[in-house]
Amino acid sequence: MITLPDSIRVFERGWLSANNVLLVGRHDTALIDSGYVTHAPQTLELVRHELPGRRLDRLYTTHLHSDHCGGNALLEAHFGCDTFVPAPEEEKVRHWDEDALGFRALGQQCPRFLIDGVVRPGDVLTLGDLEWQVLGAPGHQAHSLIWYCAAHKLLVSADALWQNGFGVIFPELEGDEGFEEAAATLDVIAALDVEVVVPGHGAMFTDVDAALTRARRRLDFLSSKPANNAEYAVKVLLKFLLLERQRIPVADVQALLASIPVVVATNLRHLHKSEADLAAWAIKQLVRGLAAKIDGDDLVNV
């Protein structure tokens, strides 16, 4: 059983929403990541339950993917909390440029929220009466951040490291560098004295060296040829749609994938399939991997 300091509460969410890390100090409170918009009411209730008679003072976002910041607007509206994002994203958020933020490209929702400040690699923050170092973690997303508490050898790793892998290396899909950055991020994590990892998705874990070994093997496979990362991305984005909707008519999958700009660009750049073939392939992959099943005319989440 993993024991955390008394000031830390971790809400492990389903894969549609990122995990939430609540830090309860004597004088103020903070939350790292708020989950996806369709789960925002649940996020609010989880936070309210843990803060009876108190407000949420600060809200931090590890990176601007909708499953990590989709609850920001509701939490702001309820608590009036101050919200902070990675510094390079500041102007995109202030002007709410959904194209630059990538929400539209990924076919996902995120209600507009306001920000009160930014966070940078190298910042040292006191959250939950504990000192946290903020570290850059590019790879999955160019401006992603991770949080490290040396006193308790605890890492909030976002999507840079899970127990079995990490998030899609999205920059590579867009023609930017991502694999080398992801490898460098794994090296940064390996250099820390970490005993407990709170990942962006999935359960907390302590087998850090084993997780890093698995992540490096995964990265070697994805970077061995561009199509590997591209195929992974298409499967993940279809699975995300299933997590959100739970069931999708098989006949609608082709049009749904064709409506997601990242999928269209990825297919054109790396996979070279017709829209129909791409949809059929993606469905087959999810079913084969036991991530979905066919029920009558529908593709159903498993």
Domain ranges of the chain: 8-222, 226-301
CA distance 190 to 209: 8
Nearest partner of 18 among 96, 70, 76, judged by Cα? 70
Q: Which amino acid would we find at residue 62?
A: T
What angle do helix axes 179-191 and 208-224 make, rounded to 10 degrees?
A: 170
Residue-wise pLDDT for 153-202, tens only, equals: 999 999 999 999 999 999 999 888 899 999 999 999 999 999 999 999 99
Tell me which residue of 158, 167, 202 sits closest to 63, measured CA to CA: 158
User: Among 29, 10, 5, which Cα is nearest to 20's?
Assistant: 10
Please report the pLDDT score of residue 172 as a whole number.
93
Q: Each residue of 59-80: b (16+ CB within 10 Å) or e?
A: bbbbbbbbbbbbbbbbbbeebe
Which stretches of the chain drop beneath a pLDDT of 50? none
Alpha carbon of residue 261 to chain centroid: 19
Name residue 212's amino acid. L
Whether this model's pTM surpasses 0.85: yes
Tell me how far apart the terminal alpha carbons of the chain are, to the nearest angstrom: 27
Q: Does domain 8-222 correspond to CATH entry 3.40.50.300?
A: no
Record the tokens describing residue 125, joined without a space.
């923050």
Question: How many other CB atoms are there within 10 angstroms of residue 94's CB atom?
Answer: 11
Both tokens of residue 223? Answer: 């970077």
- Determine the Cα–Cα distance for residues 226 and 98; give it in Å rounded to an integer: 26
What phi and psi values does residue 115 have, to the nearest 5 degrees? Answer: -125, 150
How far is it, in rounded angstroms, from Cα 218 to Cα 228?
A: 10
Q: What is the pLDDT of residue 176?
A: 87
